[in-house]
């Protein structure tokens, strides 16, 4: 199968291919003998090319643009929620249905164990191949998905099991049916009710943090972001298409991505994320097991810290955490009184 | 309090508000039925088309004037101002233009007021201020209003008109205002202080998917545009045919998202009745602010 590649991954992939060929040669007696005959040491050749590849990779990944981060967050090979749950947790029992009339495959959840402790794991789920992608609605949750998530979260809270959510969605579903079933209310109600849940909540943004669709399961006591994940109020393509600053041109999504400051590194700077989990060089998809191990450790560490916090303190801190988000200034009115310009006197817009 | 606001507006409405600016000129054309009206007639009719009942959009202060008891409105939180946290291209200019063209300091106006003698905290959005969009200043103003509501144990009455949803020029900060305002409403919920939402034209996206959907009681004006994502998004969806009234008040009512559609003429009395019905036992009724 041909692996899907991003443009900036191509030079790395070429070296990968070369390494694979060398390894095949090393495994092939005839070719190895031929190489020995030519005084070529395949093993050292392999490590030489590997070194070169790692160097290229370090260079490429040290210089990722915000748009490259968006591409990484959406990478079709990237590990998804169930990949992480299966790698990090044991005894996962998936629970389905919103108990109102539907089960949304775009959000998965269930009880499982992390380091022997029972948790409720919930996340957006994208599909790997075309069929599964459609089945999962590309990770875009419907109202029933948010209602299922809330049901599971409240279930967890009742049995005093901490909640871990995995965020990876382009946006919530926005079609006619979603509107009819109250997508806005479903998201809003989840966000509000998450402030009442009397157990620790750890949020892990593993890929795309797509606006309200992400936030609908992303109110937490700790927010962890993977190194190449994003969190944005609007997809950069839509932002570029709306604003004249970008010529109302979807093609200028990379400019919009830069302006929106949507990377994990920015979220950390804005104190909206608490920490960033480093990914293996080249991104989580190059070594999903290693990526999962690091993420699992980070989640477990946060849960351990939160476990000792008394519930009222926990809820109060959660409130204050979101209460304080924002960037605004309070004008000292007295200091600002200036003569009212003539066109202001008659009120708005002459 | 009111005297301090002179920097931005000249108080001249009933509640120290800026005077209306729309419909402009002597004549107006109804956006729905295209009938030409004498502007004064529309003005006198609460800015409702005399022919087809179209409800014109109201400015924040027009809305407040129409709703609260004369002279009872005391503005709060008006000094919380937007900044440009991301250095977003064009945002400072857009902000400056919105401030000078509307005479407002941001997209929502909050205050304490009486409605038929009953105290409440009230908030109204103004679509002409960057589409009524929610940035950090809007979030902060609203949460302060909610906290005041809880502190005084008086209901919070909120008029939307936030067609812009979250203010994308503030990036992740604006998205998080959905969580911030919902946190404030979780607090109100726990304190059992009533929160009444009136959905007005237009209410979309991040605002509809947060505090606009969380009213204990949700009313809507007739014919308002109310929805999650723009109509174009829905249209592209696998050729799904959209109903003619898609994302209208009537559509949302039919889907169970709205308690009542209330004509502008009835709105004040409906709110007054609700405040009366929800008043706490033994609470001081008909106090002055």
pLDDT tens-digit profile of B154-197? Answer: 999 999 988 889 999 999 999 999 999 999 999 999 999 999 99
Question: CA of A337: which chain B residue's CA is closest?
Answer: B7
pLDDT at B40: 87
pLDDT at B231: 60
Which residue, among A182, A189, A148, has the nearest Cα to B216 in the 3D structure? Answer: A189
Q: What contacts A67, CB < 8 A, 6 or more positions away?
A: A236, A253, A254, A257, A258
Among B4, B229, B237, B243, the strongest candidate for a mutation testing the A interface, having the largest count of A CBs within 10 A, is B229
**pLDDT at B107 exceeding the cut of 80:** yes
Query: In the sheet where B118-125 sits, what is the strand order?
Result: B74-76, B108-115, B118-125, B156-159, B195-199, B217-220, B260-261
Question: CA of B9: which chain A residue's CA is closest?
Answer: A347
Domains contained in chain B, CATH given:
58-278 (3.90.226.10)
pLDDT at B10: 36
**pLDDT at B266 exceeding the cut of 60:** yes
C-alpha B107/C-alpha B130 separation (Å) is: 7
Question: CA of B247: which chain A residue's CA is closest?
Answer: A179
Nearest Cα of chain B lies from the Cα of A147 at a distance, in angstroms, of 14
C-alpha A256/C-alpha A274 separation (Å) is: 24
Interface of A with B in 144-183 (CB under 8 A): 171-172, 174-183
Question: CA of B24: which chain A residue's CA is closest?
Answer: A350
The predicted-structure confidence for B208-259, as pLDDT tens digits, reads as follows: 999 999 999 999 999 999 999 876 554 445 556 788 889 999 999 999 999 9
Nearest Cα of chain B lies from the Cα of A219 at a distance, in angstroms, of 7
pLDDT at A230: 97
User: Could you state, in order of their start, the residue ranges of all structural domains in chain A?
Assistant: 9-63, 72-323
Among A153, A170, A179, the strongest candidate for a mutation testing the B interface, having the largest count of B CBs within 10 A, is A179
pLDDT at B286: 55
Domain A72-323, second-level architecture = Alpha-Beta Complex (3.90)
Yes or no, beta carbons of A215 and B178 under 8 Å apart: yes
Q: How many CB pairs under 8 A join A and B?
A: 232
Stretches in chain A below the pLDDT threshold 70: 1-2, 333-350
Alpha-carbon separation of residue A100 from A111, A123, A157 (angstroms): 21, 20, 20
Mean pLDDT check: name the lowest of A269-278, B141-150, B279-288. Answer: B279-288
Indicate if the alpha-carbon torsion angle A177, A182, A188, A190 is positive or negative. negative
Yes or no, beta carbons of A191 and B179 under 8 Å apart: yes
Nearest Cα of chain B lies from the Cα of A195 at a distance, in angstroms, of 6
- Two structure tokens written together for B204: 């979309």
Q: How high is the ipTM of this complex?
A: 0.90
pLDDT at A136: 97
Express the helix, strand and coil content of chain B in percent, nearest 5 each: 35, 20, 45
**pLDDT at B21 exceeding the cut of 90:** no
C-alpha B157/C-alpha B179 separation (Å) is: 19
Using a CB-CB cut-off of 8 Å, the residues of chain B touching A219 are: 179, 182-183
Yes or no, beta carbons of A329 and B173 under 8 Å apart: no
Task: Say if A101 is an interface residue toward chain B (CB within 8 Å).
Answer: no
pLDDT at B234: 45
Task: Say if A211 is an interface residue toward chain B (CB within 8 Å).
Answer: yes
pLDDT at A298: 97
Nearest Cα of chain A lies from the Cα of B15 at a distance, in angstroms, of 14
Terminal C-alpha separation, chain A: 65
Mean pLDDT of chain B: 87
Nearest Cα of chain B lies from the Cα of A20 at a distance, in angstroms, of 42
CA A185 to chain centre: 23
For A172, the 3-state DSSP assignment is coil
Name the E strands within chain B: 27-29, 36-38, 74-76, 80-82, 108-115, 118-125, 156-159, 195-199, 203-204, 217-220, 226-227, 260-261
Yes or no, beta carbons of A179 and B246 under 8 Å apart: yes
CA dihedral B120, B125, B126, B127 (to 10 degrees): -150
pLDDT band at B62 (very low <50, low <70, confident <90, very high): very high
Yes or no, beta carbons of A179 and B85 under 8 Å apart: no
C-alpha A334/C-alpha A320 separation (Å) is: 30
Among B168, B256, B259, the strongest candidate for a mutation testing the A interface, having the largest count of A CBs within 10 A, is B168
């Amino acid at each position: 199968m041909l692996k899907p590649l991003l443009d900036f991954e191509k030079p790395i992939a070429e070296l990968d291919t070369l390494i694979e060929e060398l390894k095949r040669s090393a495994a092939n007696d005839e070719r190895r003998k031929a190489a020995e005959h030519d005084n070529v040491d395949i093993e050292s050749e392999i490590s030489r090319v590997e070194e070169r590849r790692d160097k290229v990779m370090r260079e490429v990944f040290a210089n990722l643009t915000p748009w490259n981060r968006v591409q990484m967050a959406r990478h079709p090979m990237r590990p998804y929620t169930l990949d992480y749950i299966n790698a990090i947790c044991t005894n996962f029992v998936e629970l389905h249905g919103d108990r109102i009339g539907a089960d949304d495959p775009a959000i998965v959840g269930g009880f499982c164990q992390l380091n022997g402790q029972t948790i409720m794991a919930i996340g957006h789920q994208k599909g790997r191949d075309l069929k599964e992608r459609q089945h999962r609605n590309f990770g875009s949750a419907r109202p029933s998905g948010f209602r299922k998530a809330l049901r599971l979260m409240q279930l967890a809270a009742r049995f005093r099991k901490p909640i871990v959510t995995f965020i990876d969605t382009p946006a919530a579903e926005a079609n006619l049916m979603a509107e009819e079933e109250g997508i806005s209310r479903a998201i809003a109600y989840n966000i509000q009710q998450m402030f009442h849940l009397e157990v620790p909540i750890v949020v892990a943004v593993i890929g795309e943090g797509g606006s309200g669709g992400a936030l609908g399961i992303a109110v937490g006591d700790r927010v962890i972001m993977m190194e190449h994940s994003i969190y944005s109020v609007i997809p950069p393509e839509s932002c570029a298409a709306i604003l004249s600053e970008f010529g109302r041109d979807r093609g200028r999504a990379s400019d919009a991505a830069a302006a929106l400051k949507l990377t994990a590194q920015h979220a950390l700077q804005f104190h909206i994320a608490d920490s960033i989990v480093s990914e293996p060089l080249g991104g989580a998809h190059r070594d999903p097991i290693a990526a999962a191990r690091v993420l699992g450790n980070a989640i477990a560490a946060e849960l351990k810290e939160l476990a000792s916090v008394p519930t009222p303190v926990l809820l109060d801190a959660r409130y204050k955490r979101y209460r304080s988000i924002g960037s605004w200034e309070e004008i000292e009115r007295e200091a600002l009184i200036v003569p009212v310009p003539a066109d202001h006197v008659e009120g708005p817009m002459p | 309090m009111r005297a301090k606001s002179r920097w931005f507006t000249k108080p001249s409405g009933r509640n120290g508000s800026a005077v209306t600016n729309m419909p402009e000129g002597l004549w107006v054309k109804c956006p729905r039925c295209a009938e030409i009206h004498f502007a004064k007639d529309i003005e006198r009719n609460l800015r409702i088309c005399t022919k087809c009942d179209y409800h014109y959009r109201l400015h924040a202060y027009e809305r407040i004037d129409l709703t609260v008891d004369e002279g009872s409105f005391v503005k709060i939180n008006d000094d919380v101002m937007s900044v440009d946290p991301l250095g977003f291209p064009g945002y400072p200019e857009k902000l400056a233009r919105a401030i000078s063209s509307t005479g407002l300091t941001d997209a929502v106006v909050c205050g304490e007021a009486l409605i038929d003698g009953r105290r409440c905290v009230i908030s109204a959005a103004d679509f002409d201020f960057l589409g009524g969009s929610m940035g950090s200043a809007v979030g902060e103003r609203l949460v302060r209003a909610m906290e005041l509501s809880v502190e005084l144990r008086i209901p919070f009455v909120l008029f939307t008109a936030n067609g812009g949803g979250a203010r994308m020029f503030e990036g992740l900060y604006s998205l998080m205002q959905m969580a911030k305002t919902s946190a404030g409403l979780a607090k109100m919920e726990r304190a059992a202080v009533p929160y009444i939402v009136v959905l007005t034209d237009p209410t979309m996206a991040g605002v509809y998917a947060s505090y606009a959907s969380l009213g204990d009681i949700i009313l809507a004006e007739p014919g308002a545009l109310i929805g999650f994502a723009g109509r174009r998004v829905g249209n592209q969806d696998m050729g799904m045919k959209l109903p003619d009234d898609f994302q209208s008040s009537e559509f949302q009512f039919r889907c169970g998202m709205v308690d009542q559609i209330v004509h502008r003429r009835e709105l004040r009395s409906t709110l007054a009745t609700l405040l009366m019905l929800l008043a706490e036992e033994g609470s001081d009724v008909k106090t002055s602010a």
